[in-house]
A and B are shown apart, each in its own frame.
Chain A
Amino acid sequence: MNVPRAELIGVTAIVLGFVGAPVFSHYYESHLESRAIANAPKSGKLHVYHITGMAKPGMWTLDAVEGWNYWWRKPRRLSEIAVNKGDTVLITLESVDVRHAFTIPALNIGHIEVDPGHRKILSFVADRAGSFPFMCATVCSCTGHGFACTLTKKQGHEGMTGILTVTEPLGPPDARLAVTISEEKGFQPSTLHVKEGDVVELTVTSASNGVGQGVGFCISEYESKVDLQGIAKGDSRTFKFKADKAGSFTIYSSTNAGDKINAANGTFVVSGTSGANH
C-alpha cells in the first residue's frame, strides 16, 4: 500500500502525541520523586508517604484523590505513620479542596501550608522515639481564589489528625504494662515496675480528652524513648521501649491536659544492679 508522506507524518504525530503524553508524565513524576529522595537526609531506612488533605470528610489520607475518583472516592483515614527511630521520612503533601497546614508540633515540624492543587515536600529524620500527633494547623477554609473555588464552608479541621509513631527496633517484650489516665485518678496504676534491660510494651489508655487535645504519657529522663502525645478519650496506644536506665522516674502528661492531669504524677521504677534512685 502506498501511503502518502503527509498522511504518514500526520498519523505518526498523532500516535507519538497519544503515547508520548502519558510516558512523559510517568517519567517526569519519577524524576521528581528521585530528586526529592536525593535531597532528603540520609539516615536509616527511607519511608515515602504521599499524603492528601481533605476538608470533606476531614482527613489526611494516603489514597490518591484525583479527577476520576473525586466524587466516588472512599479514601481511608491515615491514622498512623509508623517508622523506626533513625529512619528518614519523606512526605509529599497535597490538598484536594482547601488550604491545609500540616504540622507535627512535638517534632517542631510545620506548619506547612498546602494550597489546593499544589504539592509540598517535607523530609526529616525520626530521631526521637514516641508517638506524636500530626494535624492540620489551620481552619480549613477556602483560599478564595477565583471562581473555581466553591467550597466555602469551614469543615474538616477537627478530624485531620493522626499519629507518627517512632519506635526503636526491639525484639519481643519482656514486660507488658498497661496504664489508664483519667482526671479522677490520674495515672492508674501510679507505679510501674520493670527490670533494667527489659523491653517494655506499654499500653496507655485515655479516659479523658484533657482540654481538647487528649492526654500524654511521658517518663522523665526517658523523653527521647517514650513520649506518647495527644491520646484522645477512649483511645489506647501501645508502644515499645527499652528500660536501659535503672532508677525511679516521674511519669507525667506531655500534652497539656488540664490542671488535674497536669498535676498528676506516676512513678516508673527500673530495678537494676546498682539500685540507684532518681
Chain B
Amino acid sequence: MAIIGEKIELRVIQPEPPHKQEDLPGRVDLFAKAPWLARLVKLRSFPAMLIIPNLIMFWIFLLAGIFGSPVGSRNIMIVFIWILWWFALIAVLVPFGSRLWCTMCPLPFFGDWVQRHAVVTVRKGNSAGTRNQLFGRLQVWPKKLSNIWAQNIGFLCLASFSAHLVTRPMATVIMLGSLIVIAAGLGILYRQRVFCNYVCPVSGFLSLYSMTSTLELRSRDKNVCKKCTTKSCAAGSDKGWACPWIIYMGQLERNNYCGMCMECVKSCPNDNISLFWRPFCSDKVLKGYDEIWKAFIMLVLAMSYSVVLLGPWGKLKDLANVAEVGNWRGFFAYLSVLWFSALIALPAVYYVAIRLGRALAARRMKAGQEGSIPSMKDLFIRYGYTLVPLGLMAWLAFSVPLIMVSWAYIVSVISDPMGRGWNLFGTANFPWSPYHPDWIGYIQIPLLMMGLYYALIRGHELALKLWGDNRRAVLSLIPLAVLLTAITIAFMRMFTG
C-alpha cells in the first residue's frame, strides 16, 4: 500500500499534461463550435479591422485631451479611458477575453508598421530568424531585460500620478503619447513586439490577470506541434507573420505572454491553433520574482486607488494630487508609503506567512523526508498565484463604483467629446445620475469573496502539488489564508465603511 501510495503521490506531483487541449478539464474548442469565428480570425484584415478604428479613436482622444476642456469629467480622453475602457478591461476583457485588448491595442501600431511596412498584408522573406521580410534594426532585446520588471516599475510610476492621470486629460495625453513614441522607437531598434513584451505597463497588468481568464489561445494537439517541421507559428509563413510575442505554440501553457494577435492561427499549416473556453483561473503557475512582485504591486495599488480615489479622506487625496494642491512634501510622503508597501511591506508580510506555513507543514514531515520539503523560493513564487484572483477581484470591486457613479459622463461626452459645447447626438446635457449607488457595497463584497474563494481553492491545489499530502498542504496554507482573509476584510471595510 505504501508503494502504491508513493506512486499516487508522484502522479499528483508531476501529472503528465495531456497532448490534446480539449482533454484538459472544462475546455471548449470555440473554432470548432463556431467556424465563422475561425474564418473571421483567419482573415488577413483581422486584427487590423479592430486596430484601425481604435487607432482613429485614440487620435480623437489625443486631440480632445490637448484641445478640449481640461475638466476630466467632460473630456472623452478621461471618461472613455479611465471609466469606460478601464471598467471594460477589468470586468469583461481580462476575465473573459484574456489579452483580447492586446489584439486591438493601437499603441504598437507604428512600431509594427516600421517593422512590417504593412498594415494588413504579410511579407514573405527571411529576416531576424523568421520567414517574413522585416524592416528596422531588428536587434535582439537584452536577456537581462527579458522580464517584466520594467513593466512593474512603469506601472508603479504611472500609479504614483494616478490622481492627475484620471482627472487631467493632458496628463493622460502625455502618458499615452509617450507610450506610443516608446513603442515606435523600440519597434525601430528591436525585433518583434519588445514594447508589449517587456515595457508596456498595461501589458504587465494584463499578463498577470489574463491567467484567470476563461479564454485561451492554444494548440489543439501538442503532438501535432512536435511533428510540425515548419513551426510557422513562431517563424511565420506567407500566410501569417512570425509571432510578434516570440512564442512557439507547442510550448504555450499560460496566457501571460500571448497577445492574441492571431497570426499563428493564420500561419499554422495544420490548422492546429484554436481559441478555447476554459474554467476561471486555469493558469496557476507564476514563474519568477518579477511576476510575483507584479502581483504584490497590483494588490497594493488596488488598495491605494480605492483609498485615494474613492475613500472619504480628503487629506490623502490632497497628498496624491500634487499638481492641484502643490504639497510636494506630502506627495513624496505618499509616494514613499505607496512604493514601500508595494515593493517591501506586503512582500515581507507575505514572506513571513509562507515561512510560517512551511514551518508548520515541515513539522509533519517524517524523519528522512526533509529533503522533499519544497524550497522557500518555490513556495514564495508558486503560492503567489493566490494573489492573482484576489487582486483581480479587488480591482473589479474598485472599478464597480467608477462605472455605477460616473456612467452618465459616458453618455454626455459621446455628444460633446471635447467639452466645448457640442451636442452631436443630443445627449451632451445628460444629467449626472449615479446608478443605484446603494447597491455598490452589495456588489463589491461578493466580488471580494469570490476572489478569496478562488485564491484559497487554487492555493490548496498548488499546495497539494507542492506537498503531496492534504494535511501538510492545508497546514502550509494556513498563515497565507489568514493573510489573504485579512486583506479581503480590509478591502471590505474600505469599500463599505
Q: Interface residues, chain A, CB within 8 Å of chain B?
A: 4, 6-7, 9-11, 13-14, 17-18, 21-22, 25, 28-29, 32, 65-68, 70-71, 92, 94-97, 116-119, 121, 145-152
User: With a CB–CB cut-off of 8 A, which chain B residues contact A7?
Assistant: 118-121
- B323 interface contact, C-beta 8 A: yes
Question: B94-117 interface mask toward A, CB cutoff 8 Å, 1 = contact, 0 = none?
Answer: 000000000000000000000000
User: Which of B78, B121, B424 counts the most A-chain CB atoms under 10 A from its CB?
Assistant: B121
Question: B33-73 interface mask toward A, CB cutoff 8 Å, 1 = contact, 0 = none?
Answer: 00000000000110010001001100110011111111111
Is B52 a contact partner of A70 (Cβ separation < 8 A)? no
User: With a CB–CB cut-off of 8 A, which chain B residues contact A150?
Assistant: 163, 167, 317, 321, 324
User: Which of B64, B170, B314, B402 counts the most A-chain CB atoms under 10 A from its CB?
Assistant: B170
- Complex partner residue of A148 from B52, B68, B167, CB under 8 angstroms: B167
Of the stretches B131-139, B237-245, B413-421, B449-457, the one at the interface is B413-421
B-side interface size class: 35 or more
Report the bound CA distance from A67 to B61 in whole Å: 11
- B460 interface contact, C-beta 8 A: no
Indicate whether A118 sits within 8 Å of B419 (C-beta atoms), given known contacts A21-B63, A67-B67. yes
Is B78 a contact partner of A148 (Cβ separation < 8 A)? yes
Is A32 a contact partner of B69 (Cβ separation < 8 A)? no
Report the bound CA distance from A94 to B74 in whole Å: 12
Chain A's nearest CB lies how many Å from the CB of B237? 17
User: With a CB–CB cut-off of 8 A, which chain B residues contact A68?
Assistant: 66-67, 170, 173
Report the bound CA distance from A4 to B173 in whole Å: 34
With contacts defined as CB atoms under 8 Å apart, how many contacts are there between chain A and chain B in the complex? 128
User: Which of A10, A32, A97 counts the most B-chain CB atoms under 10 A from its CB?
Assistant: A10
User: Which of A29, A32, A66, A96 counts the most B-chain CB atoms under 10 A from its CB?
Assistant: A66
Report the bound CA distance from A95 to B70 in whole Å: 10
Report the bound CA distance from A96 to B74 in whole Å: 10
Report the bound CA distance from A21 to B53 in whole Å: 12
- Complex partner residue of A117 from B45, B74, B317, B424, CB under 8 angstroms: B74
Is B409 a contact partner of A146 (Cβ separation < 8 A)? yes
User: With a CB–CB cut-off of 8 A, which chain A residues contact B429?
Assistant: 118
- Complex partner residue of A147 from B55, B56, B71, B309, CB under 8 angstroms: B309
Is A17 a contact partner of B420 (Cβ separation < 8 A)? no
Indicate whether A145 sits within 8 Å of B45 (C-beta atoms), given known contacts A7-B119, A32-B422, A92-B421. no
Indicate whether A67 sits within 8 Å of B314 (C-beta atoms), given known contacts A14-B52, A14-B119. no
